[in-house]
Structure 1
């Protein structure tokens, strides 16, 4: 029974990650025409009713109450940066490279846990993190200004996401989960909504499907990933997040003709290997995901 449950968890994680990868591809496609702020608005608009409904089902909307509005405002502002940088990075980089760089987020979480949370970092974890950053350098291969702009944008998204996760770890025990999720989605929606008069471009035909579809894919990803952690231990399910790299390669090749070279694979292997090593030492892997999640 335990093995069967773990297999269900792994299957749910893989399906959730597929939804995330498809959502990334849709955002990349939309980002070729529309502002990241407009994409952010629609994704947040779809997320908020879902979070509110889940909060209501798990004990009522009172779970959205908070005594720390300043903390939620700060986290919302940081996550606004996460979403904006991430979507912009998708438009500047091939999908596989963008996904590989985004995987550095868990390593940022590890490094930030010392100055922000006062947590001790074991030497082996620090070495693994440094190896991961070497992998990022290999993927980026500094030289092309266009590539470096995209890489720096995606690194900024990973850093902002790591800050969002570290603050969740710091304040999450004192706040309801649904409040933490609700306000981190509300702030980006309000900020992006305020910018719409300047960035709005009316979607055409299939683009409407894309905007709605990206939200639906995000909801599906959240549902299946949540289900994965219910069926399987985090240490078992979380590593399958890295199947996103395979989907990124396939989707990038299918829609944009992008074929990663050998250095992207070498760098990705180092990033993924270091991430797995860090996850092995830290069972709180549910807090250590990439920006798209």
Structure 2
């Protein structure tokens, strides 16, 4: 694909589709397996894939990487974001926590303008706004009041947005597979210390699902990292909303959850947000050439 921005959009959309499948697998596992153990298996699987893909000199590349410190910061932000999200999800309805969490693309666009000095066009702001309205309509949170869980969900959104902006900075200076390995090493260390206390021996089905979760997450991470290389954060931010559509699709296929009419209306707006970005970025590319 000649246009790098279009390729970045394609990779990012693909990544969020896989991340949604990853979340669905986690939802199947959490009924019997602790979340920390799931993250541990995920990190082991991704790290093994990175070493298999990286070759004999991969460990040396990791140690000498110039982005170890920022990747550690990013991994910390992600870990706190996940803890905040899972903690909030225990007290809020799914629609409420999802709507709050999807403030991340809005925050990410703002940070891209302030931190990365990206030029955020009116089309990009419009796409982010339209997508967020679509999320609110689809999730339909009613009677949401300010509370500690609400704060945690918003904190998760802000931290995720900060991690994505930091990823954009590091993505330009290191191979994606090296970034993935460094991040997985951090999560492996953080989750490994809990294993003596939380370990539950998985059966064959659970083990297969645990490993597949790592494989899917690894491919999704690689696609997201490569997408960040190709396009600005403000372009890619609205495509995070598409994961909500995949969530409703998988919810129907796996748990027979039938979406209400507001879900289809919100989904149409979310798709419109992506179309706005694609249309204006393609037009800008043609004008530039």
In the superposition, the TM-score normalised over structure 2's length comes to 0.69
SS in 1 for 2:28: helix
Distance 1:212 1:269 in 2: 34
Q: What's the counterpart of residue 42 of structure 1?
A: 41
Q: Per-residue deviation at 1:129?
A: 1.7
Change (3 A) 1:274 1:250: closer
**How many correspondences in the alignment?**
267
Q: Is the 8 A contact 1:104 1:136 kept in 2?
A: no
Q: What's the counterpart of residue 286 of structure 2?
A: none
Q: What's the counterpart of residue 172 of structure 2?
A: 173
Q: What's the counterpart of residue 122 of structure 1?
A: 121
Q: Is the 8 A contact 1:16 1:222 kept in 2?
A: yes
Matches within 5 A, 1:58-69: 60-64=58-62, 65-69=64-68
SS in 1 for 2:200: coil
Q: What's the counterpart of residue 111 of structure 2?
A: 112
Change (3 A) 1:50 1:205: closer
Matches within 5 A, 1:110-259: 110-143=109-142, 157-219=156-218, 225=223, 247-259=246-258
Q: What's the counterpart of residue 285 of structure 2?
A: none
Q: Per-residue deviation at 1:200?
A: 2.8
Q: Is the 8 A contact 2:67 2:170 kept in 1?
A: no
Q: Is the 8 A contact 1:100 1:245 kept in 2?
A: no
Q: What's the counterpart of residue 26 of structure 1?
A: 25
Q: Per-residue deviation at 1:71?
A: 1.5
Distance 1:17 1:117 in 2: 22
Distance 2:272 2:148 in 1: 25
Q: What's the counterpart of residue 272 of structure 1?
A: 271
Distance 2:89 2:33 in 1: 13
Deviations 1:236-260 (A, max 9, x none): xx89998765653343123323112
SS in 2 for 1:174: coil
Q: Per-residue deviation at 1:209?
A: 2.1
Distance 1:152 1:242 in 2: 21
Change (3 A) 1:60 1:35: closer
Q: What's the counterpart of residue 263 of structure 1?
A: 262
Q: Per-residue deviation at 1:42?
A: 0.9
Distance 2:89 2:244 in 1: 14
Change (3 A) 1:111 1:277: farther
Structure 1 range deviating more: 240-249 or 163-172: 240-249
Deviations 1:164-213 (A, max 9, x none): 22112223333444332222222122111122234333323422222122
Matches within 5 A, 1:33-112: 33-56=32-55, 60-64=58-62, 65-84=64-83, 105-112=104-111
Distance 1:105 1:282 in 2: 21
Change (3 A) 1:155 1:39: farther
Change (3 A) 1:123 1:99: same
Q: Per-residue deviation at 1:50?
A: 1.3
Change (3 A) 1:88 1:39: farther
Structure 1 range deviating more: 100-109 or 169-178: 100-109
Q: What's the counterpart of residue 287 of structure 2?
A: none
Distance 2:18 2:123 in 1: 33
In the superposition, the TM-score normalised over structure 1's length comes to 0.68
